[in-house]
Amino acid sequence: MKLKVLVDNNTLIDRYFQGEPGVSFFIEDGSTKILFDVGYSSLVIENAFKMGINLLNLDFVVLSHGHLDHTWGLDPLVRLITEAKIEGIDHKMPTLVAHPDALLSRKVSGLEEIGSLLSEEKLSRHFEMALCRDPFWLTDRLVFLGEIERENDFEAKRPLGTISTEGGEEDDFLMDDSALAYRSTDGLVIVSGCSHSGICNIVEQARRILSESRVLDVVGGFHLMDPPERQMRETLRYFERLRPREVHACHCTDLESKVALAEVATLKEVGVGLDLEFD
């Protein structure tokens, strides 16, 4: 599996790409091409173009969850696909994979919309839709983990704003927050977006689904932004026991949390343009 960082808060030194508060990873497993999250703006398309990546040849677009910094790039992606149709340019109709709640409207105090700007109905005109709570296999070694079981008592305990459901407006515990897991020859590679469901919960679900205890790498947002003291302490204990070969924490992981993680794991730098490869 090959992974390239298209969008992140940070950029690599002497690599002339742009960053923004968001996430997008381009993943290839064999001939299968996947865009995991789409960032906040058209930056995903601009960076992909500079990197020579053809976003008209995607098999899957996967959303980790429905927040603006992971879904608002859908609008320019739809424009790209639409313009390809107009100009007669070869393109695929990718499958959009996400939890069913990922496309619901959500808000937080002072902001009336922080969820997807495009509805399921509109997106279904441009994508095959695979909205699922259960795991969804993208290849024989790469899986969308589905709804994450909240099994520990220190993560995912506080709502973030509200979400509009058929039953009305509810506290938003981000039940749609999910991740990818890849079975490499040396252990699991977990790729997260924001980890609102808890990075430890995510890793444990990956280990259950793929029946593999070894973890090679954890890549993505850890949702450790001034976290409660107990959450940080228990997360550090978990990673100390887990002993992954490397950790690529980025996006919604603050500097203090990264420094602490570096005490218990081999923390690596992440930025737009980073290339990772796993057997």
Give the 3-state DSSP-derived string for 68-94, with helices as H, strands as E and coil as C.
Answer: HHHHCCHHHHHHHHHHHHHHCCCCCCC
CA–CA dist 201, 183 (Å, integer): 18
**What global pTM score does this model have?**
0.97
The mean pLDDT value for 8-28 works out to 97
Domain spans of the chain, in order of start: 2-277
The per-residue pLDDT for 176 is: 98
What band does 25 get if pLDDT is binned at 50, 70 and 90?
A: very high
The mean pLDDT value for 80-101 works out to 97
What band does 171 get if pLDDT is binned at 50, 70 and 90?
A: very high
Percent of residues in the chain assigned helix, strand, coil, to nearest 5 = 25, 30, 45
What band does 57 get if pLDDT is binned at 50, 70 and 90?
A: very high
What band does 72 get if pLDDT is binned at 50, 70 and 90?
A: very high
Please identify which residue in the block is written with the tokens 């995991």.
36
CA–CA dist 7, 12 (Å, integer): 11
The per-residue pLDDT for 215 is: 98
Tokens of 10: 């940070």
What band does 279 get if pLDDT is binned at 50, 70 and 90?
A: very high
What band does 194 get if pLDDT is binned at 50, 70 and 90?
A: very high
* Tens of pLDDT, residues 225-273: 999 999 999 999 999 999 999 999 999 999 999 999 999 999 999 999 9
The per-residue pLDDT for 64 is: 98
Q: Is the dihedral of CA 138, 140, 142, 147 positive or negative?
A: positive
Could you give the 3-state DSSP secondary structure of residue 202?
helix
| Amino acid identity at 35 | L
The per-residue pLDDT for 97 is: 98
Phi, psi of 183 (to 5 degrees): -95, 100
Residue among 29, 13, 21, 43 at smallest CA distance from 184:
29
The per-residue pLDDT for 242 is: 97
Element containing residue 208 per DSSP (H, E)? helix 199-210
- CATH architecture of structural domain 2-277: 4-Layer Sandwich (3.60)
Phi, psi of 256 (to 5 degrees): -60, -40
The per-residue pLDDT for 152 is: 98
Tokens of 215: 């973890």
Q: Is the dihedral of CA 75, 56, 96, 82 positive or negative?
A: positive
What band does 42 get if pLDDT is binned at 50, 70 and 90?
A: very high
